[in-house]
């Protein structure tokens, strides 16, 4: 999965090096007039009759009491981490074990009962035996760490998101099964929750000294550090809503993400793989264990593989097939994923390895037995293929993305297999993603091609409906009738037209809350509830974007760092004639030139064709310190780690034209 913490690290680049002009002061505005109508206070933190009815209906429709998944999720439990939390060296809570333990008993009215069931399953934690020689540590991060016993040590698969949770997981393994060194590391794909904790289980010095293989799919290094580099600030902000980072734990807040319990809050790192594997059927032997890799690039991640272990007759399906329907387009924003390719990758392992004794993944719990493995893989294949094919079938008949999402029927596989239900991705937004993948954002309706932006449209909407009180009255009426989708639409117009009108904010927050209480997707729930929280309490003022991780920064190709700066370039701030900057890096031997003009600041590898206006000579390590704000430009010049030749004012003009975007920008209001 694409993860918020990786995005935060990448987004540190968006705040580096520049001195940015202060924004112009806002014009004084008149205080909002008190409403002519006295609106009642909407409910807060409690389910309405409509929500209780909706949740009761899904409980009636699905066999939620089926214990099969609970038996599988609890199967092979060997030990658990003692205590109420995992802490870092300073005593900060990295993983609140006790909070997730509270998701027990019958579903409360404020949680979709199907999501509550999934949350009880994902929150089960401890060290589990998959089979003799294969183990999993689950429930201490968003992802799962698998551990395979080699001839001399432990082969670690997907070392979680944070070094603290990974270290605690490995300690649990060693305390329970006997201490052994790490003899290999595998990253199944290029999302941070599957490699970010690697320094909690092994060091680069250990890898070099003992020749430990670190294997990843082809394209991993590029994807892991660059996939979200250019758009990281926006994605990170929306990810804060999607993962519910600011929500309290509990029945009116976060209960799980559906894909896993939640995000750990520790230290993110990256150790580059020693080899990237391509192809299907490619074999490698790690510490006496044969791995047969299956490339699955372009499915759930740009770089991903599954693998088969012939000595165990076990298949690892990575994050291609897990106990939920995944995202074709993640709510935080990303490039659309190809569900056709995704279904074909699952079909490949179904036909080749579908008779395995067990299939285990990078999230959730394993499936045992040939018949069950085959059924699991077929169901996973079918939900992705069904969504792809039926979305296109309807699109080719002229339906738009929204119409497809409304009209498409829930397939039988989702009623029969809980692992295909929309606990993370949903049939509704994944069909829209398929439409976007093939046809783009526009639905073909001329009126939608050049519509007014949200605020202008909202002002016209409110005026046409008779003013703000009339709009809120209609929203309140829709809320009382349980028509929350219409209430959200109407009240959102009110908030965007007059964001200081408190009744509109209150009723929209209450509407989002009910939509969150009804959501089967953990991501949808978190997004709605965080939206409600921000309307009530404002955008958070703390927890701002972090300075990033040295491990990420040093792993990013140098030219990509300059591309990240290029998307921050504000050409209106540069009033001088075009100029060329050259950066010579003494430790890597690289040269990057930046052609700064009236529209773009174009970086390229190598020296420029003509003469440079300014040449900057420094090490890549010193440049990394600038990016991380560890040291300032004047400090590096003063100690002789930066040398300048030519016109230094050109360099300052470029720095001064780089935006530093705020992280906590508004999303649920203008």
| Residue 10 predicted with pLDDT over 70 | no
| Residue 640 predicted with pLDDT over 90 | yes
Whole-number Å distance between alpha carbons of 670 and 26: 14
Q: What is the mean pLDDT of residues 34-54?
A: 92
Lowest mean pLDDT among 361-370, 433-442, 490-499, 548-557: 548-557
Residues 181/216, Cβ–Cβ less than 8 Å: no
Q: What is the mean pLDDT of residues 511-536?
A: 98
Q: Tens digit of pLDDT for each residue in 201-216?
A: 999 999 999 999 999 9
Q: What is the mean pLDDT of residues 220-230?
A: 78
DSSP letters spanning 107-142: PPTTS-HHHHHHHHHHT--EEEEEETTEEEEESSSS
User: Domains of the chain (ranges plus CATH)?
Assistant: 75-439 (3.60.15.30), 452-537 (1.25.40.880), 556-656 (3.30.1050.10)
Q: At what angle do helices 339-353 and 370-396 cross, to 10 degrees?
A: 150
- Torsional sign, CA 664, 665, 667, 670: positive
Report the alpha-carbon angle 553-229-258, nearest 5. 105
Lowest mean pLDDT among 28-32, 301-305, 405-409, 471-475: 28-32
Looking at residue 26, its pLDDT comes to 43
Looking at residue 551, its pLDDT comes to 67
Q: Tens digit of pLDDT for each residue in 477-513?
A: 999 999 999 999 999 999 999 999 999 999 999 999 9
- Torsional sign, CA 69, 74, 80, 82: positive
What is the strand order of the sheet 358-360 is part of?
A: 280-286, 289-295, 305-309, 314-316, 358-360, 367-368
Token pair for 161? 């998101």
| Residue 263 predicted with pLDDT over 80 | yes
Looking at residue 246, its pLDDT comes to 92
- pLDDT range class, residue 227, cuts 50, 70, 90: low
| Residue 336 predicted with pLDDT over 50 | yes
Average pLDDT of the residues of the chain: 92
Q: Tens digit of pLDDT for each residue in 93-125?
A: 999 999 999 999 999 999 999 999 999 999 999
Q: What is the mean pLDDT of residues 292-321?
A: 97
DSSP letters spanning 372-393: HHHHHHHHHHHHHHHHHHHHHH
Report the alpha-carbon angle 327-528-361, nearest 5. 30
Whole-number Å distance between alpha carbons of 496 and 301: 35
Looking at residue 547, its pLDDT comes to 43
Lowest mean pLDDT among 226-230, 505-509, 613-617, 620-624: 226-230
Residues 262/89, Cβ–Cβ less than 8 Å: no
Q: Tens digit of pLDDT for each residue in 151-195?
A: 999 999 999 999 999 999 999 999 999 999 999 999 999 999 999
Q: Tens digit of pLDDT for each residue in 35-44?
A: 678 899 999 9
- pLDDT range class, residue 556, cuts 50, 70, 90: confident
Q: What is the mean pLDDT of residues 555-574?
A: 91
Looking at residue 292, its pLDDT comes to 98
Residues 573/656, Cβ–Cβ less than 8 Å: yes
Residues 154/170, Cβ–Cβ less than 8 Å: yes
Q: Tens digit of pLDDT for each residue in 582-597?
A: 999 999 999 999 999 9
201 three-state secondary structure: coil
Share of the chain above pLDDT 70, in %: 93
Lowest mean pLDDT among 350-364, 428-442, 531-545: 531-545
Q: What is the mean pLDDT of residues 593-608?
A: 96
Instruction: Count the Cβ atoms, other than its own, within 10 Å of residue 544.
Output: 12
Looking at residue 29, its pLDDT comes to 45
Looking at residue 228, its pLDDT comes to 64
Phi, psi at 16, each rounded to 5°: -95, 150
């Amino acid at each position: 999965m694409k993860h918020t913490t990786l995005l935060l690290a990448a987004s540190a680049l968006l705040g580096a090096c520049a001195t940015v002009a202060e924004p112009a002061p806002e014009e004084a505005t008149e205080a909002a007039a008190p409403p002519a109508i006295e609106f009642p206070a909407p409910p807060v933190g409690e389910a309405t009759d409509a929500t209780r009815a909706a949740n009761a209906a899904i409980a009636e429709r699905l066999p939620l009491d089926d214990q099969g998944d609970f038996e599988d999720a609890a199967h092979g439990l060997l030990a658990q981490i003692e205590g109420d939390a995992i802490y870092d060296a300073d005593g900060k809570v990295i993983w609140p074990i006790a909070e997730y333990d509270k998701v027990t008993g019958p579903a409360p009215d404020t949680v979709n009962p199907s999501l509550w069931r999934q949350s009880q399953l994902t929150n089960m934690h401890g060290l589990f035996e998959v089979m003799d020689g294969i183990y999993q540590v689950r429930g201490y991060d968003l992802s799962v760490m698998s551990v395979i016993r080699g001839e001399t040590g432990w082969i670690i698969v997907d070392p979680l998101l944070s070094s603290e949770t990974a270290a605690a997981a490995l300690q649990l393994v060693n305390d329970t099964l006997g201490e052994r060194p790490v003899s290999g590391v595998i990253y199944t794909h290029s999302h941070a929750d599957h490699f970010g904790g690697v320094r909690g289980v092994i060091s680069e010095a250990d890898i070099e000294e003992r020749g430990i293989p670190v294997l990843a799919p082809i394209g991993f290094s590029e994807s892991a550090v660059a996939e979200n580099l250019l758009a990281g600030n926006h994605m990170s902000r929306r990810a804060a809503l999607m993962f519910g980072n600011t929500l309290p734990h509990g029945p009116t807040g976060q209960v799980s993400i559906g894909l896993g319990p939640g995000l750990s809050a520790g230290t993110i790192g990256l150790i580059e793989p020693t080899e990237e594997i391509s192809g299907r059927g490619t074999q490698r032997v790690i510490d006496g264990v044969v791995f047969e890799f299956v490339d699955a690039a372009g499915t759930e991640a740009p770089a991903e593989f599954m693998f088969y272990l012939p000595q165990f007759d076990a298949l690892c399906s990575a994050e291609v097939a897990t106990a939920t329907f995944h995202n074709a387009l993640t709510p935080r924003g990303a490039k659309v994923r190809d569900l056709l390719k995704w279904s074909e990758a699952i079909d490949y392992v179904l036909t080749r390895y579908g008779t395995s004794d067990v299939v285990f993944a990078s999230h959730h719990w394993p499936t045992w037995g040939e018949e069950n493995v085959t059924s699991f893989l077929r169901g996973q294949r079918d939900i992705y293929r069904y969504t792809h094919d039926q979305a296109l079938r309807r699109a080719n008949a002229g339906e738009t993305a929204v119409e497809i999402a409304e009209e498409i029927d829930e397939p039988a596989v989702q009623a029969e297999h809980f692992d295909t239900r929309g606990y993370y991705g949903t049939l509704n937004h994944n069909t829209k993603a398929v439409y976007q993948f093939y046809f783009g954002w526009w639905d073909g309706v001329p009126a939608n091609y050049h519509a007014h932006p949200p605020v202008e449209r909202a002002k016209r909407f409110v005026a046409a409906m008779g003013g703000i009180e009339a709009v809120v009255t209609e929203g309140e009426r829709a809320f009382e009738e349980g028509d929350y989708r219409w209430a959200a639409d109407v009240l959102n117009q009110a908030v965007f037209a007059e964001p200081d009108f408190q009744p509109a904010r209150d009723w929209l927050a209450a509407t989002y809350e009910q939509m969150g209480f009804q959501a089967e997707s953990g991501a949808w729930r978190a997004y709605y509830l965080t939206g409600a929280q921000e309307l009530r309490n404002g955008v958070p003022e703390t927890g701002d974007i972090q300075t990033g991780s040295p491990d990420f920064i040093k792993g990013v190709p140098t030219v990509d760092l300059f591309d990240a700066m290029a998307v921050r370039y504000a050409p209106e701030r540069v009033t001088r004639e075009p100029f060329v900057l050259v950066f010579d890096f003494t430790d890597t031997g690289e040269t990057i030139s930046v052609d700064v003009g009236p529209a773009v600041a174009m970086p390229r590898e190598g020296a420029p064709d003509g003469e440079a206006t300014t040449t900057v000579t420094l090490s890549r390590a010193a440049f990394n310190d600038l990016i991380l704000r560890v040291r300032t430009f004047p400090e590096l010049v003063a100690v002789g780690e930066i040398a300048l030749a030519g016109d230094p004012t050109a360099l300052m003009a470029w720095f001064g034209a780089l935006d530093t975007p705020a992280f906590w920008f508004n999303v649920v209001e203008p």
